Amino acid sequence: MGKKKEDPYSINRILKIIHMYHINMKNIKEMEQELSSVGVSQYGIEATLPKGNAISKVVENEAIRLVESSRYWSETVTDMKYIQDRWHRITDEKEAMILNLRLDGLSMSEISRIVNMDRSHLYKVLRKIARTIKGYPQVYATDTTN
């Protein structure tokens, strides 16, 4: 008998990704800025000649390759992409607003004040959002084969 492939994205993991999303996005943007400023200095006659971006591009590409090969960042980017590829599944306007506020880094207290909802109910809504992200309801699936 074939073994059923296990989905690595549990509801709790999705909630953690949502919670850490804004922090990870900020860190990735900072890292990209640092990498874009990587360069190589030249001295002597080479410094006065017109230069292409070939040398610094090699260094930049190597730095990017090292970062992308980092297991942690690779997994983090994959997790963020998992959420991005599925956030369209949240079709309820209030749920979409809650998800957006959480992804922007607002605390549960701030969100509960904005949407006028107590925190315990807000946690339930976030779990519902995570379930929706995890498994797209078949009710909305369409048959695209001819």
Q: How confident is the model at residue 102, as a pLDDT? A: 97
What value does the CA radius of gyration of the chain take, rounded to a whole number of Å? 22
Q: List % helix, strand, coil for the chain (3-state, nearest 5).
A: 70, 0, 30
Q: How many helices and strands in the chain, by DSSP H and E?
A: 7, 0
pLDDT in tens, 18-46: 999 999 999 888 877 766 665 544 455 55
Mean confidence (pLDDT) of the chain: 79
- For the chain, the straight-line distance linking the first and the last C-alpha, in angstroms and rounded, comes to 32
CA distance 74 to 93: 31
pLDDT in tens, 71-109: 787 888 899 999 999 999 999 999 999 999 999 999 999
Q: How confident is the model at residue 29, as a pLDDT? A: 84
Contact 94, 115 (CB under 8 A): yes
pTM comes to 0.68
Length of the chain as a residue count: 146
Q: How confident is the model at residue 135, as a pLDDT? A: 87
